Amino acid sequence: MMPELETVEITTVGAACAELPRFSGVYRFFGEDNSLLYIGKSVDIRARVQSHFQEGRKPGRHQRMMQQVLRIDCTATAGEIGALLVENAAIKAETPLYNRRQRRLHKLWTVQLQQGKDGFLKPTAADFKPESERRIDSYGLYSNQKHIESSLRRHARDHGLCAQMLGFDKGTGPCFQFQLKRCDGACAGQESASEHNARLLSVLDSDRIAAWPFTGPLALGETNIRPWEGQPSNQYHIVDHWSYLGSVENLNASQPLLQSEGARFFDRDAYRLLISAMSKGRVEIYDATTGEPLDNPFLVTGPRE
């Protein structure tokens, strides 16, 4: 679904690099018998590949890889966001020899919050299913439930949260951590549920996996106002419940992606790329089915730290 550029055969390094484009996209290094060696991305493919050859002059793993490169294929993108998304998906799907191994998530746990009768939010361990829809917020990804409790206890100790109010420690009255001045006093009536909840949410926010707030799949529009020749000026990144389905140059071409019957997996790296792009306003949001513009609920307004 992405525009492929002409293949560059390696005769001499200088001649090969001269044929490469100067715009953003994803490149692949192939070796003997069409073996896929490496997948990378750049906002300037030619400059990045040249740096690979320069680095390959030094003995080591990178030199061994570059000595095997016989062909370079490129995929054009409208901008950096598309390059990041395509590269991430391609590495995991195509498993090139020299990229860092990236595996899809399988059995993992996450934290979900439920409000208790006392008004305090209680963290609970929940099975994180990568193929599920994202209907509610969750926080973090863990290999087992013990890691969840140890992480939350560390947060409690470092941020004055009450393990008793969080549901870890039983008992009534001031907790032991309060006596050690490590709890801000929710258990002693010195802190309200709203204050404790706000601090808990602030602590967990960096690990938040946001619920999908839309009624259907999205098309995230990325525009390049000064495209190079052969580079798309617009691209739409198709996403459903944080699952990246692919990129197209017009919305009509998104239907095969939307109608695909394959499983839609949550990918943590793609999620971080998407949330970052949306919060910074680097993409326009459209309903992928109707093309209707949508409000961006993740857009951050005001100064960032």
**CA angle, 147 then 153 then 154, to 5°:** 90
Q: How far apart are the first and last CA of the chain?
A: 37
Q: How far apart are CA 254 and CA 256, in angstroms?
A: 6
* pLDDT (tens digit per residue) in 93-135: 999 999 987 666 567 899 999 999 999 999 999 998 877 788 8
* pLDDT (tens digit per residue) in 28-37: 999 999 999 9
Amino acid at 79: G
For residue 132, which of 239, 269, 246, 265 has the smallest C-alpha distance? 265
Mean pLDDT in residue range 156-178: 89
Q: For residue 294, which phi and psi values (nearest 5 degrees)? A: -125, 155
Residue 51 half-sphere exposure, CB side, CA atoms within 13 Å?
Answer: 8
Mean pLDDT in residue range 176-197: 92
More confident call, 267 vs 236 = 236
Lookup: tokens for 220: 């995230």
Is pLDDT of 6 > 80?
Answer: no
* pLDDT (tens digit per residue) in 265-302: 888 899 999 999 999 999 999 999 999 999 999 998 65
Q: For residue 280, which phi and psi values (nearest 5 degrees)? A: -90, 0
Lookup: tokens for 17: 């690099």
> In this predicted structure, what is the pLDDT of residue 49?
95
Return the CATH fold of 8-94.
GIY-YIG endonuclease (3.40.1440)
Delimit the domains of the chain by residue range. 8-94, 108-133+138-209, 218-287
For residue 183, which of 151, 157, 153 has the smallest C-alpha distance? 157
Lookup: tokens for 57: 């002059």
> In this predicted structure, what is the pLDDT of residue 11?
61
Residue 122's SS3 state is strand
Cβ–Cβ < 8 Å for 238, 57: no
